[in-house]
Structure 1
Amino acid sequence: MAVQVEVQLSVREAVRQQVGRVHRQAAPIRMYHLSMNTKTLPSARNTVGDLAGLSFAILARLSNESRRRRHLKESGTDDQAARQAPRTGLDINNRDEQIADCTANIESRGGKVVFVYDEPHTSAYKRRRVVAEDGTVEYRVIRPVYRKALSDLRKGVAPNGERLDGLICPDLDRLTRDNRDLEDSIDVVQRFGRPILDNSGALDLTTESGRTNARVVTAFNNAQSAATGRRVKRKHQALQREGIPTGGTRPFGWCEDKRTLNPPEARLLRAAVYELLNGGSLYVICAEWNRDGIVTARGKAWRAEGLKAVLRNPRMAGYRMFTVVGDDGAESEGGSRHVRTLLDADGDPVIGQWKRMITPEKWTAVLEIIGEAPVRGAGSNTRKYMGTGTLRCGRCDTALRAMKAPPSAGKPQGYFWYGCHSKGKGGCGGIKIDGPNTDKALIELAVAVYERAAAAREATVAPTPWTGAARLKAVAEDMAAAKAARKAGRLTAERYYADLHEYETEQRALLKDRNAHMKANAAARDIPATLGADWRKGRLSLTEQRAYLEQAFSAVIVKPAGRGRRMTTMDRLEPVDAS
């Protein structure tokens, strides 16, 4: 260990000395000749110290706070608010100071600044998941503004049309903390003869020693960022074990302290859970909330996938959660993100230090309906017709698509048909039916289903009870007894985990059966009494129409029109009950 520390200290001292030499060499009195491209630059005599006649762009970083202030200033309506906005100190090295320093540096050496690249608060270190052209997954630092600056530098033209001869940034640490990105900058300097500088004078990519120094410093900066990331991760893990809420946007349903409930939002969430457990649709709930002007904690409109994420969060049941990154559940950089329940050393959920929204039993029932994690491709779609996804071809069972009528058909504006795909696209091409009339028929069929369900509910004296409640309770008691026996040393690890696996398997099966029973027992309980009138008069959004239609039918088969006899649109539709 002592040898390793000594080696690390000697390497750092060597780097420190190298940086000091570059600082001294970069003084204005010392000139370095660049291999300039005479086709793109006005003269080949320019040097790192002498920038006369050269046009530079600045790569400036916008912190979250400075970006907000700039937005207020540029809006033209909140100048006073921009001036009076309180400072937190997070933007102490803000955009204006970066630009002033870089401009003074360039102008003092005879050059001029022609453009400023404003880079948002993006990390120069953290990698993101990227899918390459061949379908493989790679991890890269995503910085589109930085890429745009290098691209313009290669062309020698700034976005405003001015000639671009070089780029300057506050320091090497801001230029990049990734060696792959640094090599791209080196390539621009070497191949196109356009310098990339920093205010400190330590960045010199025009010489071999300068490039070596930049590579070493970037590697150390990368390691420093990695070490900081590890420390932050350990801190969050400690907070998680104690059930302490952390920073970020407040969760919908809770106040800014992330501990106490927000009464109006809590009522909405609990009502949504009730509707979902009783056969309701998340799409309908979101449509109603959006119509009433209810927004997310970030001020956005509600979408079904967003509401699912809220309901999936273990916070709903009072449990501490942790974020899983990656499709395989591994905590790798990039990939999809979702949350899971944090378990302690004994396998029990860690209780969060906040008020729970619903009971753990109800939350488990919700997960049985919406799933524990997002499913790829399960987001909302862009279909614009009510029947797509529900209508099926009566000949080949392919889902029908909507086809707009061309002007030559002589149909009213907006007219369309539902038809089967051609043989080359997986269908038979043999079914076609009037679109508007089919939508009207689908409404009547769906409303009739809901009216029959309402009549059946009124005729039912009481809902049938679920018969597995006693067994579910017994399984929970057996699991608790096994855990107590294991802690007391009366049960071996092999026997305990074998029994636990059997108990958990039976518990999941019972919970799934209970939730299916709850849904079937209360199906369509909360369907509005005015559904038929609202639907027929066009008071429902397309999202609500599709949701009610998919609840009523698993599919609606469109039969061929037949020959020699005229069939109505209703005669050609054969609904398949969703139950």
Structure 2
Amino acid sequence: MASYARTSEDFRQRDGHGVRHQLRINERIAHEYGCRVVAVYTDNGCTASKPGVARPGFDRLLGDLTRGHEADGQALDGVVCVADDRLYRRPEDLARFFAALTSRPGRVYVDQRGVRDPYSQEGLLEAVRSLEAAVTETRVRSQRVSNWHWARAVEGVPHSGPRPFGWLGDRITLHPEESTLAEQAINDRIGGKAVRAIAREWCDAGVTGTRGSRPNAQTVTQIMTAPRVCGYRANRGALLLMPETGQPVLGQWEPIVTPDRWKAVCATFSPGSLYLHRGSGTPRLTGQRASPRHLGSGFLRCGATRSDGTPCRGALCAQKGRSRKSPYVYTCGSCAHCSISGPLADEALERILFSEAPPGLRLPESVRRRWQSGEAGLDEKRRNIASIITCCVVRPGVKGNHAWDYSRVEPLWRLPDHSPSTAAIG
């Protein structure tokens, strides 16, 4: 029998004590019901509520259940776990687990309530009821945490986490050197100086961030445009306003500049600026998402197969590459088992667009001329791609094979009656 344990967090002791305790309880439960544990699977500090979070232990468990045995050849006749929500908190994981568990006959599922038959309708209904309870608990807990953060924010309490640049460890008192640098950077930016130039000056002067990293253009922008520099409080990526007056909530810390200076420096960045693509607590004043920088962003899907035999189909995201030939690569953010050179993938997209499109979806010759002459911009090119394909599935490459294979990128064509008109795509 396989024993599975999972904890959502292990940030205090960081010693895995939570999963160890669960595994001991699993041993006791298995002994009580005449079972023997032959394999152990754990995920320490892994949430099961959020999509896209890798759980190696859970994936290995499903793979071994599907094969029928663990790595040493021991047969797996079932699974023991302290509670259902350790295994699954999302419908997708429930379906994957039951498919793997029931892939062989005669298996059982054991928890503190006893032995369950996963093949019966009652066993499946009980699992669904457990899932509904777990989803409800997750929502209630999330709302409780959200309300707690909102209440602290309304009182002007500083953000938790790492010390913000410009303040001392108490997050209230200004850091004499860093606050002066931040104020000067704001004045320089309002005066027309480039952010990259400011970042270079900081690097040349030996300035480091609060975590010891060298400042770059984006981090300098985050420091200058964060609402905290003028004393405003933000929550969940938006300025926090008092419900009674509609005025911004003031924090308990000392401000670096006045609100007018903060608004002035934020106004120096154009809508959709990548520098303003920031995390929570630093809202983007434009209200617009940063536009994609690469041709294939949003169109490429992972063609790798998960350990349980199901296709991944996660989105491939552009990341910085390590070579001149591939200054950027598209990598799967879900399984990380599939990546492809960015320039070669974009070249494959162009080939698909003009050489492989079926007759009903072929673009006019004028579109090809604009594309190849350089007249078409990135947005226009992406509209052209979206007009004939829904996405492209990228098969994983073969390790050690350096030859480029265009067939790795397989398009999923749009229906002819759903493609935009020629006028709409430029």
TM bucket by the smaller chain? Answer: 0.5 to 0.7
2: CA distance between counterparts of 1:357 and 1:97? 48
The equivalent residue for 2:99 is 187
Tell me the CA shift for residue 294 of structure 1. Answer: 4.3
Alpha carbons 1:106, 1:113 under 8 Å: kept: no
What secondary structure sits across from 1:369 in the alignment? coil
Equivalent AA in structure 2 for residue 169 of structure 1: C
2: CA distance between counterparts of 1:281 and 1:237? 35
Equivalent AA in structure 1 for residue 5 of structure 2: L
With over 3 angstroms needed to count, the CA separation of the structure-2 counterparts of 1:363 and 1:382, relative to structure 1, is farther
The equivalent residue for 2:389 is none
2: CA distance between counterparts of 1:245 and 1:113? 49
State yes or no: 1:272 paired with 2:209: no
TM-score (norm. length: structure 1): 0.43
With over 3 angstroms needed to count, the CA separation of the structure-2 counterparts of 1:99 and 1:243, relative to structure 1, is same
The alignment yields a C-alpha RMSD, in angstroms, of 3.8
Alpha carbons 1:60, 1:169 under 8 Å: kept: no
The equivalent residue for 1:260 is 173
Tell me the CA shift for residue 292 of structure 1. Answer: 5.8
Tell me the CA shift for residue 321 of structure 1. Answer: 0.9
- Rg bigger for which structure? 1
Alpha carbons 2:65, 2:101 under 8 Å: kept: no
State yes or no: 1:314 paired with 2:227: yes
The equivalent residue for 1:98 is 22
1: CA distance between counterparts of 2:12 and 2:28? 21
Give the alignment partner of residue 36 of structure 2, picking from 95, 103, 111: 111
Give the alignment partner of residue 216 of structure 1, picking from 123, 129, 153: 129
State yes or no: 1:356 paired with 2:356: no
Which portions of structure 1, spanning 4 or more consecutive aligned residues, are displaced by more than 6 angstroms? 378-385, 422-425
The equivalent residue for 1:484 is none
The equivalent residue for 2:411 is none
Post-superposition CA distance 1:447-499 (Å, at most 9, x none): xxxxxxxxxxxxxxxxxxxxxxxxxxxxxxxxxxxxxxxxxxxxxxxxxxxxx
With over 3 angstroms needed to count, the CA separation of the structure-2 counterparts of 1:252 and 1:189, relative to structure 1, is same
Tell me the CA shift for residue 382 of structure 1. Answer: 6.4
Tell me the CA shift for residue 354 of structure 1. Answer: 1.2
Give the alignment partner of residue 155 of structure 1, picking from 67, 73, 77: 67
The equivalent residue for 2:114 is 201
What secondary structure sits across from 2:11 in the alignment? helix
Tell me the CA shift for residue 315 of structure 1. Answer: 0.9
Question: Unpaired runs of 5+ in structure 1?
Answer: 1-53, 71-92, 128-139, 325-338, 389-400, 402-421, 429-579
Alpha carbons 1:240, 1:322 under 8 Å: kept: yes
Alpha carbons 1:317, 1:360 under 8 Å: kept: yes
Tell me the CA shift for residue 295 of structure 1. Answer: 4.0
Tell me the CA shift for residue 370 of structure 1. Answer: 2.7
2: CA distance between counterparts of 1:238 and 1:216? 33
What secondary structure sits across from 2:268 in the alignment? helix
What secondary structure sits across from 2:102 in the alignment? helix
Tell me the CA shift for residue 215 of structure 1. Answer: 1.3
The equivalent residue for 1:376 is 291
2: CA distance between counterparts of 1:380 and 1:365? 32
Alpha carbons 2:231, 2:251 under 8 Å: kept: yes
Tell me the CA shift for residue 268 of structure 1. Answer: 2.9
2: CA distance between counterparts of 1:295 and 1:65? 26
Alpha carbons 2:225, 2:266 under 8 Å: kept: yes
2: CA distance between counterparts of 1:240 and 1:343? 10
Structure with greater helix share of residues = 1
1: CA distance between counterparts of 2:95 and 2:102? 10
Equivalent AA in structure 2 for residue 362 of structure 1: R
What secondary structure sits across from 1:116 in the alignment? strand
State yes or no: 1:120 paired with 2:45: yes
2: CA distance between counterparts of 1:58 and 1:196? 11
The equivalent residue for 1:68 is 14
TM-score (norm. length: structure 2): 0.56
State yes or no: 1:175 paired with 2:74: no
Tell me the CA shift for residue 349 of structure 1. Answer: 1.6
The percent identity for this pair of structures is: 24
Alpha carbons 1:314, 1:341 under 8 Å: kept: no
2: CA distance between counterparts of 1:115 and 1:288? 53
What secondary structure sits across from 1:271 in the alignment? helix
What secondary structure sits across from 1:216 in the alignment? helix
The equivalent residue for 1:18 is none
Tell me the CA shift for residue 199 of structure 1. Answer: 4.8
With over 3 angstroms needed to count, the CA separation of the structure-2 counterparts of 1:152 and 1:295, relative to structure 1, is farther
With over 3 angstroms needed to count, the CA separation of the structure-2 counterparts of 1:381 and 1:97, relative to structure 1, is closer
1: CA distance between counterparts of 2:114 and 2:204? 57
1: CA distance between counterparts of 2:161 and 2:116? 36
The equivalent residue for 2:195 is 282
What secondary structure sits across from 1:68 in the alignment? coil
Post-superposition CA distance 1:135-180 (Å, at most 9, x none): xxxxx4644433453234323454x565462443332122222234
1: CA distance between counterparts of 2:31 and 2:93? 27
1: CA distance between counterparts of 2:183 and 2:6? 46
What secondary structure sits across from 1:266 in the alignment? helix
Tell me the CA shift for residue 312 of structure 1. Answer: 2.3
Equivalent AA in structure 2 for residue 263 of structure 1: P
Post-superposition CA distance 1:487-531 (Å, at most 9, x none): xxxxxxxxxxxxxxxxxxxxxxxxxxxxxxxxxxxxxxxxxxxxx
